[in-house]
Amino acid sequence: MKNPRKGRGLTKNPALLIGASIIVLVMLIGVFAPYLSPHDPSQMYPRNRREWPSSQFLLGTDRLGRDILSRMIWGARVSLLIGSLAVGASMVIGLSIGMVSGYYGGLLDEVLMRFMDMIFAFPALLLAMALIAVTGPSVRNIILVTALIGVPRFARILRASVLTLKAQEFVEAARALSKSDFGIMTQHILPNCIAPLTVETSLSIATAIITESALSFLGLGVRPPTPSWGQMIADGRTEVFNAPWIVIFPGLAIMITVLGYNLLGDGLRDALDPRL
């Protein structure tokens, strides 16, 4: 039977509603980019370089005469694709490690958690830069590197939940009924960990988008001519005083998107926390 109080908590939480609205809007922009983009994002208009926002170019043009609005629309698709796939991969790997580590404990737990500590020991951006420098900049490598960085967070969150849940009576009852370890983990423990994992997923996507933007800004991200918000800021950093709109609008896109995911994560945390 559904809990009506939980439904009301979800719909009356302003942070959750605002965050969800922002994310849905950005997703729709990314999905329908070919139809919303007024110009080809790679098309250069030499006579309109560094043009102020106008009726022809609503957000102006960059130093090569490319329409900023069109590039921002296509950049939304790249950022969301990388963020979603990277977090999806890190969640699958992290959940597997956290579940096995917390459920079985002992030496296996020690080995897996020390490996997670090794990844945590490196600053995320520096580790990403080092790995991208070795593997080469591409969308696939950015997804893999960002996923690797996010694995320890999911592993530790699930492990903490498993350590609490595996001693509960319903898990003991499942063991008494001769259920397999895999069945207990997937059917009894994992469903009770959905709330913290949902919140972490939302916040991790925001982190992944920031990581991708930072790598693109440093020249280690998405390669031209594929538009990326971080790459757009990097291209306009020398024009910040002559044509500030080149940097301002992509920066606002990153800020608003990350804010949306953070608000969504905070709203879900408040709505799913039974103590609130």
Q: Which residues of 74-103 are buried (b: 16+ CB within 10 A; e: fewer)?
A: bbbbbbbebbbbbbbbbbebbbbbbbbbbb
Q: How far apart are CA 96 and CA 154, in angstroms?
A: 9
Q: Looking at residue 42, what is its pLDDT? A: 87
Q: 231 near 218, Cβ under 8 Å? A: no
Q: Taking residues 160-187, what's their average pLDDT?
A: 82
3-state DSSP call for residue 60?
Answer: coil
Report the percentage of the chain scoring pLDDT > 90.
Answer: 17
For 79-125, the pLDDT digits (tens) are 888 888 999 999 999 999 999 998 888 888 889 999 988 888 888 88
Regarding predicted confidence, which is higher, 172 or 144?
A: 144
In the chain, alpha helices (H) = 4-11, 14-31, 33-36, 68-104, 106-121, 124-135, 139-165, 169-176, 181-184, 194-217, 229-236, 245-272
For 264-274, the pLDDT digits (tens) are 888 887 776 65
**Hey, where are the domains in the chain?**
15-32+57-272
Residue 25 clears pLDDT 90, i.e. is over it = yes
The pLDDT confidence band at residue 138, using thresholds 50, 70 and 90, is confident
Domain spanning 15-32+57-272: which CATH class is it, in words?
Answer: mainly alpha
Residue 39 vs residues 61, 66, 181, 276: alpha-carbon distances, Å: 11, 9, 55, 48
Q: 158 near 166, Cβ under 8 Å? A: no
